[in-house]
Structure 1
Amino acid sequence: MRTPELTDEALVLDDLSVSRGRGADAVRAVDGMTASLPFGEALCVSGPTGSGKSSLAIALTGERDHSTRIVGGGATVCGIDAAHPGRARSVLTFRVGYMAQDAGVTFDPDLTIGEIIARPVAARDRRVNLRQLEVRVSALLDEVRLPLGAASKFPHELSAGMRQRVALARALVLDPRLLVADEPLAGIDVEVRHVVRDAILRRREEWGMAAFVITNDASFAAEIDADRMVLSNGCVTAVQPAGGEPLATPGASSDLAFLRGATPEA
């Protein structure tokens, strides 16, 4: 298979629609979203629970999730058609690092933290140099401010916030061109939330990684200098360029609260 070439944009969404659920229970989670994200830039998506944010994130990653699928429009992710990746799916999952919402809860309890972080590499190359992989895991643990001894521990021995930082390390282990992070600050203590910010900023500056982040945290979006969008009932209702003024669609002025970091009252 010829490896698809990277495009100028890490992400191009053209009237994208995403379905969540199966059969009669399927719903339109995202409806007609259009956006683009150049390499080296960041985009934060906000919105209420159930607005389609997590479904959107899953649809862009190439993960095999039969309950979430692209049903309309287009999504080109790191040069690959995310709706129909075919044999290029392995390339897509290599170029995209995915940090799922509450990822730490899904860790295999029988794997050590070191094995969890290394798994994306080991799954692709069974002949990987184990010493080099160990060094790579150690470097990532240090970057997310976890002790090197954490590599030999099991998930239940770490706090929820520490597991969240392990999930970030795992998402970055393949040096992705695009990071898709769903609520990356969940459970992380205020004192160490800077490790998420610094990891994103360093990779953006040094090798042009793009970041697509699901978060309602306006201050974090500002810290990573991100453009912002608000999803409500699967539709984009408000946008704000990094450092610019927010703009809402008619009748959706209440959604501007998400751009300010406040949740509108029901």
Structure 2
Amino acid sequence: MARHRDADVAIRCSDLSITRASARGTATERVVDGVDFTLAHGRSLAVLGPTGAGKSSLGAVLAGTDEPGLAVVGGDARVQGIPVRRPGRAHRTLTYLVGYLGQGAGTRLPARLTVEEVISSPVTSRDRRVNKRALALRVAALLDELKLPLGMTVKYPYELSAGMRQRVALARALMLDPKLLVADDLFANLDVQARAAVVEAIRRRCDGYGMSTLLIGNDRDGIRALGAEVLILRSGHVVACGANVDDVLWTPSAGADRRLIAS
């Protein structure tokens, strides 16, 4: 699918504010407040901060998820030129252009689907008349790229290790060759070899067709490996930013607090 003509950057956030409703829906909390940043095509940005800083909520909204309780209440954000506040008919296009690896995605794979069915789901959920042979070849290519055995296509998630499940979830997010990957805790449960395969897969897409990556989490080594810029949140506010995880400029009101980017 062609990139939108007005998408001069992958993400543009302007004074973005997000609320999250309580489980009972009786109260709302502002979890992201006045966030501004841009993410260029082919680049990576890591959003860091302590638990409860609003990182995952920000990622979920920018990925176009329908997560209950989340709502944009102020400002604006455009992903590949599509507004996330009221995308309307463009919502389907947004979810096509964005690959989303949610927090704990590897632990929440559909238990009744095989690995092949899980990875294929972004395609089959849109068109069940797809060429099955072509689809199987695409799944096999992703498994090979992420250093997973081809014979696991017929297995179920409960038969896999935690690291394998994480890579299956990533393969699903990459199935449609997204223009933007939003990955929450990308390197969870991955050993050294698996981490290297994941980094190489992302770099290949960044260099090959300009995929951008929004990383959520505090994995310093992963952030360095992907050459990501950083944005640090605390209580929903941006308190620091930098060209990399080792070169961070803190806002005067926040004061430098290295604990917020501890690995």
Question: What range describes the TM-score normalised by the shorter chain of this pair?
Answer: over 0.9
Give the AA of the match of 1:11: I
User: Which piece of structure 1 moves more, 240-249 or 166-175?
Assistant: 240-249
**Residue of 114, 117, 121 corresponding to 1:115:** 117
Match of 2:169 in 1: 167
For residues 145-187 of structure 1, what are the alpha-carbon distances to aligned partners after superposition, in whole Å with 9 as ceiling and x for unaligned? 1100111100000011110000110000000000000001111
One-letter code aligned to 1:45: V
Partner of 1:20: 20
The count of corresponding residues between Structure 1 and Structure 2 is 259
User: Scaled by the length of structure 1, what TM-score is found?
Assistant: 0.93
TM-score normalized by the length of structure 2:
0.94
Whether 1:8 aligns to 2:43 is no
> Contact 2:223–2:245 at 8 Å: present in 1 too?
no
Q: Residue 73 of structure 1 aligns with which residue?
A: 75
Give yes or no for the alignment of 1:125 onto 2:127. Answer: yes
Cα RMSD (Å) of the superposition? 1.6
Q: Which amino acid aligns with 2:147?
A: R
In the TM superposition, residue 5 of structure 1 has moved relative to its aligned partner by 3.6
Q: In the alignment, which residue of structure 2 is the partner of 1:86?
A: 88
What is the one-letter code of the residue matched to 1:8? D
Q: Separation in 2 of the partners of 1:243 and 1:232? A: 16
Asked if residue 57 in structure 1 is aligned to residue 59 in structure 2, the reply is: yes
Mapped contact 1:113–1:155 kept (Cα < 8 A): yes
Kept after mapping to 1: 8 A contact 2:116/2:154: yes
Contact kept, 8 Å, 1:122 with 1:128, in 2: the verdict is: yes
Poorly superposed stretches of 4+, deviation over 2 Å: 3-6, 22-25, 242-245, 250-259
- 1:9 match: secondary structure: coil
Checking the alignment, whether the CA contact within 8 Å between 1:238 and 1:255 is kept in structure 2 is no
In 1, Cα distance between equivalents of 2:6 and 2:216: 24
Shift of 1:6: 5.0
Specify the alignment match of 1:149 in structure 2. 151
d(CA) in 1 for partners of 2:247, 2:161: 38
Report the counterpart of residue 233 of structure 1 in structure 2: 235
Contact 1:4 1:88 in 2 (8 A): no
Other structure's SS at 1:45 match: strand
Q: Is the 8 A contact 1:248 1:256 kept in 2?
A: no
Q: Counterpart amino acid of 2:207?
A: E
Compared CA separation, residues 6 and 143, structure 1 to 2 (3 A): farther
1:199 aligns with 2:201: yes
Three-state SS of the structure 2 residue aligned to 1:116 is helix
Following the alignment from structure 1 to structure 2, what is the Cα–Cα distance between the partners of residues 152 and 117? 12
Preserved contact between residue 220 and residue 245 of structure 2 (Cα < 8 Å):
no
Q: Aligned AA for 1:66?
A: P
| Structure 1 portions without partners, runs of 5+ | none
Identity %: 46
Q: Do the aligned partners of 1:97 and 1:180 also contact (CA within 8 Å) in 2?
A: yes
